[in-house]
Amino acid sequence: MHVEVLREWRVPEEWRAAEGATLYAGPLFADAVAAELGLGLLEAAPDWLARLPCELTHREIEFSTVAEARQLRRPAFVKPPNDKSFPASVYPDGSRLPGPDAVDDGTPVLVSDIVTFAVEYRLFLLDGEVRTGSRYLTRGELDVGPLDEDPREAEVLDFAGRLASQHLPSAVVVDVGLLSEGSEGSEWAVVEANAAWASGHYACDPVAALDVVLRAARPEGEFGSADRVFLRPLPEVVRD
């Protein structure tokens, strides 16, 4: 593959609608260039985590807007589902969220009960199958290691097998973790879903991770009906 690093928020003329192009970038940059590259971008539905059964999350999660979340009068973990429009974090109450001058009132958010994960893993899934995985956090600290060398590999894969029927795109990244004692017991739970084309691979096998990225970010016309419902809505970009 030929790799081109785009250093501006626009696509060079010779790369616009390039045949067979793909993309690996953050959401804001992807929004700026994907249409010019003729790409479709797969991602989980923004309310996917909130719709999961409790036995897969072990916490209450609500899909809401940032305006509604600003009314919270309790601590909660709040994050944008598929973007980085403001930091995902535990907020003491809704008044600590960014104001309307920084984030539009209608911006979708996930509001979650606060839990603590003992260890967390990143999984690259293709057609519901884990193609590669990596541990990335232990007790909140960076602790990177390949899944196939981890003593909990079998447990992680067993839990991941329960996600195949949970209405995900054919190519996606899902983070899962083992809850700490005191957070609903030591149970496996979904942390979040991420777009493969915007996810770091930690100690995942890079070739296997690339296979997932190539399926998740490809010419828009190549997506079948099952995946089209998961295409990221791209904004209209006006160039001067």
Q: What is the DSSP string of 21-83?
A: ------HHHHHHHTTTTTEEEB---TTHHHHS-HHHHSS-EEEEEHHHHTT--S-EEEE-SS-
Residue 179, strand partner residues: 117
Task: Give pLDDT, residue 182.
Answer: 54
Round to whole Å and give the CA distance between 61 and 82: 15
pLDDT above 70 covers a percentage of the chain that reads 96
| Domain shared by 122 and 193, yes or no | yes
Structure tokens at 143: 């602790």
Domain that holds residue 152: 117-209
The pTM is what? 0.92
Domain boundary among 112, 129, 144: 112
pLDDT tens sequence across 164-209: 889 999 999 999 999 986 545 579 999 999 999 999 999 999 999 9
**Is 88 among the domain residues?**
yes
| Domain shared by 84 and 131, yes or no | no
Structure tokens at 75: 């601590």
Task: Give pLDDT, residue 228.
Answer: 97
Do the Cβ atoms of 11 and 240 come closer than 8 Å?
A: no
Domain boundary among 112, 138, 153: 112
| Domain shared by 108 and 121, yes or no | no
The CATH number for 128's domain is: 3.30.470
**Is 225 among the domain residues?**
no
Task: Give pLDDT, residue 180.
Answer: 86
Residue 219, strand partner residues: 39
Q: Average pLDDT for residues 49-70, to the nearest whole number? A: 95
| Domain shared by 151 and 103, yes or no | no
Number of domains in the chain: 2
| Domain shared by 162 and 125, yes or no | yes
| Domain shared by 171 and 128, yes or no | yes
Band of pLDDT at residue 87, cut at 50, 70 and 90: confident
Task: Give pLDDT, residue 185.
Answer: 52
* Number of Cβ atoms within 10 Å of the Cβ of 158: 11
Task: Give pLDDT, residue 13.
Answer: 83
**Is 84 among the domain residues?**
yes
| Domain shared by 121 and 202, yes or no | yes
**Is 55 among the domain residues?**
no
pLDDT tens sequence across 35-59: 989 999 999 999 999 999 999 999 9
Is the confidence at residue 15, as pLDDT, over 60? yes
Contacts of residue 223, defined as CB under 8 A and 6 or more positions apart, other chains included, come to 40, 42, 231
| Domain shared by 149 and 134, yes or no | yes
| Domain shared by 130 and 84, yes or no | no
3-state SS assignment for residue 145? strand
**Is 53 among the domain residues?**
no
**Is 173 among the domain residues?**
yes
**Is 215 among the domain residues?**
no
- The helix (H) or strand (E) run that includes residue 211 is helix 206-216
Q: Any idea which of 2-6, 17-21, 120-124 has the lowest mean pLDDT?
A: 17-21
**Is 25 among the domain residues?**
no
| Domain shared by 100 and 159, yes or no | no
Band of pLDDT at residue 66, cut at 50, 70 and 90: very high
Task: Give pLDDT, residue 17.
Answer: 64
| Domain shared by 124 and 188, yes or no | yes
